[in-house]
Structure 1
C-alpha cells in the first residue's frame, strides 16, 4: 500500500475521532486549535462523548478579598492553578474577563496610579502571561467596560476592547464616547471614536457576557447587541465596522430588564441568546439568523418551575421595574447546559437542557466567569522595520 494513502485525508471521521480519543486532553486541545474539522467534533453530539474531556469551570473573586479563585466542573483539573499565582503581583489582581481560554486581569495595588489602566493577559493552562502597555483613565465621570476577544481556531492573536462610557448626574450613562483597542499582533493601543454620535448617542456597553464568533465581537448594550467587525484593520488604526442586532422580546419602555438579565452564547458558530420570560417560569433560548438582523428563532423552552420547585421568581422594584430572582450566567450549548445564579439562595447552579435537572456548583454570592482552557501558546508581536537602525524589532 502506498504511504500516501495513509494520509488523514483518507481517514473517515470515525477513525479520526478514534485516534483523537486516545490523546491526552492537553494534546487534543492544541490540535483542535489548528484544525477546524477536529474542532467541530467537540460540538458534535455523536462524537463529543468519545473525545478527551475539557477541564472547564468558573473563575470568581470576592471584592473584599483580592484572591482570585476557581471552581472546577471536572475531575480533570489536577495541576491547574486557578489562583493565577504564576502571575507577578497576583495578590493585587482584579479579574476582568476571559474568552476561549485566555484571561484578562487588571493590576492594582496601593502604589498603582489611579490615572492608568495596567492589564495582564494570561493563559492559565500554559501559565504564560503578557503585560499590556499602560493606558490612561479619563477624569471622573466615566465608567469603563473592558472585553477580551480570542478565537484560537481563527488566529493566535487576541484583542482587548476598553469602552469609555460617559456618566452623568445620578450615575446616568450617556453612552460610549470612544473605545480603546489593543491587539497582541501590534502590541499597542489605538483609539476609535466612530461609535460616538454627539447628536444622538445613548449606546452604552454593559458587563454582561460577550461572544466572539468568526472574528466578530458581540457585546450587550442597554438595548441590543453591538457587533464590531474588521478587528484586524482596527489594529492598524482604521475605524471598525459596527452595527446592532435587536434582541428578541425587546421592550422599548425597559420595564422588563431583558438587556440586563439575558445572556449571549454561541454554538457551532451561531449566535444564541437566553432570557427569562416575564414571569420567570420559562427560559427561552433563541438562535440568530446572521443574514437577517431581526430574525431570531426559539430553539429551547426551559421549565424553571419544575427545576426550582417554585413559581415565585419575579419582583418589582420601585413599583414598575421587573427583576428576576435568578440570573443566567453562561451558556454551554455544546454540552447542553446553562448556568444560573439563584439570588434567593446565593448558589451557582447548572441546568441540564436535555435532562431538566438543576445541580448546585457553588454556594457563595460572586460574579462568575465561565472558563474553558486552551493550550495554544501566546504569540509574539509582529516585528516592524526601523528605518533608523535598519533592524526589525517589536513595537513599543
Structure 2
C-alpha cells in the first residue's frame, strides 16, 4: 500500500508576514532579509507604511543605549545587534576636528549640536536611514540651553512631526521660574509657551527624556515636564533619595534608577505623579557576582559593601526592563568607566564593556535607543 501523501503545508498569508511579523524584527535583521528578494527589498527599503509600522514597534520594544564616544555614536550592551550603518555620522559632513554633542534621543531620532559643513547648527537625524534635517536656532551663538533641549518624536502619534523644547529659566528667590521655547517641524518656527513653572531648587535641568509626548528634565529633587500635545507644563517631586539618579524610558514608561550607599533601586512613574519601586538590591548582592572588580579589598573593620561604594564613583545609566546598567570608575575625573549589568530576575551581575567619555561632553548623556526606519519629518519652511 502506498504511503498516504502529505498535505501541503499552509503558508501564512502575505499580508500577515508583511504587516505583523516583519515590522517587529530588529533593524539589522531587516537589512539582511531585504537582500533576499526584489519584493522584500522594495517593501523594507521603500514602502512608507512598512517603515511606519516598524518605527511604531521599535518605539515600544526593549531598546539599547547610546552615547557619544570619541569616534562617534557608541551603542551598548551589544553594539553588533544595533546595525547602524555609519556610527561615525560622516553622512552629516561634520567639520573636521569639531565636536558633535548628543543632546537627546527619542524613538530612534537624535538631536545633535555641532558644526556641519562649516556652519554651527542643530541637527535632527535618523542614523539608521541616514536622513537629516538642520534646525534653525535663533540662539546658536550662545552655549546656554544646548544641553537642556528636549526632543519629542512619537511614531504612534504622528510620523510627520517632531518637537524641540528648551526650558528657559529666570532666578526667583531660592528657585527658578521656567518658560519653554518650542520648535515644531510642521511650522518651522520657535514660539514661547505661555506656561510658567516655578521650581524650588538651584539645580538646572539636565538629560531630557520623552515618554508619551511629555518631555522630562531631571532638576535636583524634581522632574520638570512639558506636554507637547497639550501645551502644559509642571513639576513632579522625585522619591526622597540621596546619591545619583538616572531617568530613562522603558516600554514607553518613565523610570528612575538610583544608586546610593546602600545599593541600587528602580522606580517607575505611574498615574503621571506617583512613584512605584520595582526593584532593589544592596551592594553585597552586587559584589557577590562582580567580586573580581573589587580586587579582593582588605575590609579593615568596615563592610565590603561600604568600601565598594566609597572608593568608586558609581552611577546608574539605564534600565531596559530586565537589566539595570551601572557605570563604575575609580576616580571622578577618570575618562573611562566600566559598565556592569544587574539582572533583576536572577540577581547576577555581568560586565558589559566600557564607556569612554569624549572631550568635554557631559558624562551623563546616555540615552535609550531603538532603530527606527521611519522617514525623517521635513521642516516646513516659513515661505511654504
TM-score, normalised to structure 1's length? Answer: 0.67
Q: Give the aligned partner of residue 129 of structure 1.
A: 132
Alpha-carbon distance between aligned partners in 2 of 1:305 and 1:127, rounded to the nearest angstrom: 45
8 Å contact from structure 1 (residues 102, 124) kept in 2: yes
* CA deviation profile, 1:168-223 (whole Å, cap 9, x unmatched): 9xxx99535433211112121112363255xx864754223x43222122221122
Structure-2 residue corresponding to 1:328: 316
Q: Choose from 328, 340, 360 the match for 2:326.
A: 340
Aligned to 2:90: 85
> Is 1:60 equivalent to 2:51 in the alignment?
no
2-structure distance, mates of 1:36, 1:122: 14
- For 1:325 and 1:373, the matched residues in 2 are separated by 31
The residue correspondences of 1:133-212 to structure 2 (distance < 5 A) are: 133-136=136-139, 145-156=148-159, 157-165=161-169, 175=176, 177-192=178-193, 194-195=195-196, 202=201, 204-208=203-207, 210-212=208-210
Residue 301 of structure 1 pairs with residue 280 of structure 2: yes
Q: 1:94 to 1:341 in 2, by over 3 A?
A: same
Q: In structure 2, the residue corresponding to 1:82 is in which secondary structure?
A: coil
Task: Report deviation, 1:158.
Answer: 1.6
Q: 2:284 is paired with a residue of what secondary structure?
A: helix
Supply the distance in 2 between the matched residues of 1:311 and 1:177 (Cα, whole angstroms): 40
Structure 2 match to 1:375: 373
1:275 has 2:272 as partner? no
CA contact (8 A) 1:262 1:273 kept: yes
Cα distance change of structure 1 residues 159 and 40 upon mapping to structure 2, 3 Å threshold = closer
Contact 2:151 2:210 in 1 (8 A): no
The answer (yes or no) to whether the contact 1:274–1:328 under 8 Å persists in 2 is yes
2: CA distance, partners of 1:381 / 1:140: 23
Offset from partner CA, 1:133-155 (integer Å, 9 cap, x none): 13126879888622222222322
CA contact (8 A) 1:262 1:274 kept: yes
Q: CA deviation at 1:124?
A: 0.5
Q: What is the deviation of 1:19? A: 9.2
Q: Alpha carbon RMSD of aligned pairs, Å?
A: 4.2
* Structure 1 residues 151 and 361, CA gap change in structure 2 (3 angstroms): farther
Kindly indicate whether structure 1 or structure 2 has the higher relative contact order, using CA contacts under 8 Å at least 6 residues apart. 2
Contact (CA 8 Å) 2:125, 2:133: kept in 1 or not?
yes
Any unmatched runs of 5+ in structure 1?
Answer: 44-53, 234-239, 251-255, 316-322, 383-392
2:149 aligns to what SS in structure 1? strand
| 1:361 paired residue among 331, 353, 359 | 353
Taking structure 1 as reference, are residues 186 and 22 closer, same or farther at Cα in structure 2, changes over 3 Å only?
closer
- Distance in 1, Cα, partners of 2:345 & 2:84: 31
1:95 to 96, 102, 112: 102
- Alignment length, in residue pairs? 325
Could you tell me which of 203, 214, 217 is aligned with 1:216? 214
CA distance in 2, matches of 1:262, 1:296: 14
Structure 2 residue runs without a partner (length 5+): 1-11, 32-43, 292-303, 332-336
Query: Hey, what's the Cα distance between the residues in 2 that align with 1:223 and 1:16?
Result: 42
Contact 2:246 2:317 in 1 (8 A): yes
Partner of residue 285, structure 1: 266
Deviations 1:75-126 (A, max 9, x none): 23556211100003254333322222111111249x86xxxx7201111000
Say if 1:272 and 1:288, in contact at 8 Å, map to a contact too.
Answer: yes
- Find the residue that maps to 1:135 and give its secondary structure: coil
**In structure 1, C-alpha distance between the alignment counterparts of 2:186 and 2:67, rounded to whole Å:** 26
